[in-house]
Chains A and B, each alone.
Chain A
Amino acid sequence: MRKSLAFSLYLSWMVIGGQAFADIVSLDSNYVAGQTDMTTKLNADRLALTNGVNNIRGVFAGSAQSSGQIKADTIGEENMADDANPRIRTNEGAGCPDKTSGMLTTTTSGTLLGSIPAGVSYPDGYRVEKTTTTAKTWTASKWTYYYILTSGSFDYQEVTIGAARPSDLAGSATIARVSTDGTQVVAVQDLRTTSCATGTFAGTFSTSSGSTLDDMLKVGPPVRRFSPAGRTPVGHAQGAFVSWDSHTTFKVTPGALYINGRYRFVSSDITVTTGTDTPSSGLSGLDTGTVTGGPLKYYVYGVADQDDVTSYSVTYSTNATTPTGLTNYRLIGSVNTDATNLFTSRDNVTVHAISEREIVGGWVHFDGQGSGTILNSYNVASILENAAGDYSISWDSDFVNATYYADCTHSQQGSTTNGAADSIQSLTAGVARFNIKNVSDAAVDGNPTVCIGVGDTRR
């Protein structure tokens, strides 16, 4: 009897306790046949049910739940659908809208029939999973942009090749641009957001209230203050040296450039021909016309007019400030043609860098009259006193060739007259030998004797 009573009390506690947070739907009516207020009772119960369902979370005062159909801390992620499950979203890296994995089609050979692989995307934050491939016949000789929609379907926009990119579709994540010729898919440009770890430089702060990386990279002219365009273009510029290549081409070396708000980089040499450019498709060349009328100076620009790429192209022009047909450009240097309209290696300039031949390769200030003391120097290994007024300067790092500029001058021995005849006796890549003479053409020592060499060196 006692056991039976205890079991009954336990059962009552379970029933009551189990509904402690789930009894907002309180159907207190006891329907009896023939009851006169049946309609009222039914409506009261309907209202209670409706309110309960529509307020399933219940009422909270702080963390204390006074009503509701879901007990606090009782819903596990295993009860949630994949498109709402935070574990799934975290695992798939959905930290930003339009994050996509998979779904990138490939080039084809001899056919326009392709397929879009399975994958997962988060257009506008909605999770869309494609578990099977999707067949797609691409239109010939077009650029086709394709998207995954929040509805789970793919959609497409076609433009002529070389045309501007159309606006993205609403409620979509952009996947790629597919380029076709008459018979096949020749290129696929990946336009997916594949990682939420990347962001704009403008979103990268040094401190919570500090400068952004964008602030740091877009200001200030590098190296030189002035260029043919006036002030040297501002912002980050590294590498991208303008370099002579041949009589019909020149090169721009790998580098990174800030161009009108766009950060672009190139990891291999760009060879620029005498052909005309197509900046919208990244083709480097002359801005307009032909290379003629030499000798001329051509101004070289880094160009960021091709959309959806990380690289820059190169355009050159006779115009030092406003090349034809460009929107986003930055002056990076100049090249020259001779009277036969061939590129020359003479005076190629990179406006954001200094060539070795523009700066002093070595110099020395020594006492050639006394004990020969080297008082100061740069890039000089040795001074050799061969005879009276006969000095050799042995450069520490040799010049690239023997066709560099060198000169010496001195204060004449035994006279107040300075600057008599100084001449080069011989010049090799490693040694410059000078003869110093007085006004009577006699070899003399000088103090101070100063010598300089300017040209290409490898330091």
Chain B
Amino acid sequence: MIKFLILFLCLSLNAFASEYIVEKADGSIVIIHHNDAAAQTLEETLNENGLAGLPIIRINQSDIPSDPAERLDRNYWKRGILKKIEVDTAKKAAAQAAKQAKEDRKRLLLKLTPAEYQEAKELGIVR
């Protein structure tokens, strides 16, 4: 009985929306939550958001990483193989390297030590 109740809750929780991922040319993905009761079709949503013609697959809500820590990698999500959404580790590493290089350059321009730069960030003097 409890199993049926849990199953019912899981199925009915988001029964009014369907989830899709659209893969863009640069490998990044757009997640679409489409209201099943909407008069506007999924195709119309794709068209008015400039996504028509791109690869699209339907996913389950459970395929979307929902842990806040995982969400921090949102900009590196890609369509996966083992899981439908995976982190593009190469892209993430490149982005982090670029970000670190930018930080180092800013610190050098400001002529601050790493400790001073960190303090300046904490004080909101630099972002």
Contacts and interface: CB of A to CB of B under 8 A. Distances in A.
Contact of A384 (B31, B44, B68, B71): B31
B40 A372 contact: no
**Chain B interface main SS type:** mixed
Given A371-B64, A394-B49, A414-B68, A383 B32 contact: yes
Interface residues of A, number: 31
A382 B43 CA distance: 11
Interface in A346-381: 366, 369-374, 377, 380-381
A430 interface: yes
B71 A413 contact: yes
Given A372-B19, A388-B71, A440-B127, A366 B33 contact: yes
A413 B49 CA distance: 26
B38 interface: yes
Nearest to A375: B14
A386 B75 CA distance: 9
Given A388-B74, A394-B45, A372 B64 contact: yes
Contacts, number: 90
A172 B12 CA distance: 76
Contacts of A388: 71-72, 74-75
A443 B74 CA distance: 10
Interface string A283-301: 0000000000000000000
B66 A380 contact: no
A431 B68 contact: no
B28 to A, nearest CB: 7
A387 B75 contact: yes
Interface string B110-127: 000000000000000001
The list of the 9 closest CB pairs from A to B, nearest first, reads A381-B40, A381-B38, A388-B74, A370-B66, A385-B31, A371-B66, A430-B48, A382-B45, A383-B33
Interface of A: 366, 369-374, 377, 380-388, 392, 394-397, 413-414, 428, 430-431, 440-441, 443, 445
Given A371-B14, A384-B30, 11 more contacts: A374-B16, A380-B38, A382-B42, A382-B45, A384-B32, A385-B31, A385-B74, A387-B74, A387-B75, A392-B49, A445-B74
22 contacts: A369-B68, A370-B68, A372-B64, A373-B17, A373-B33, A373-B61, A381-B38, A381-B40, A382-B42, A384-B45, A385-B31, A387-B28, A388-B71, A388-B72, A388-B74, A392-B49, A394-B49, A396-B39, A413-B68, A428-B48, A431-B48, A431-B49
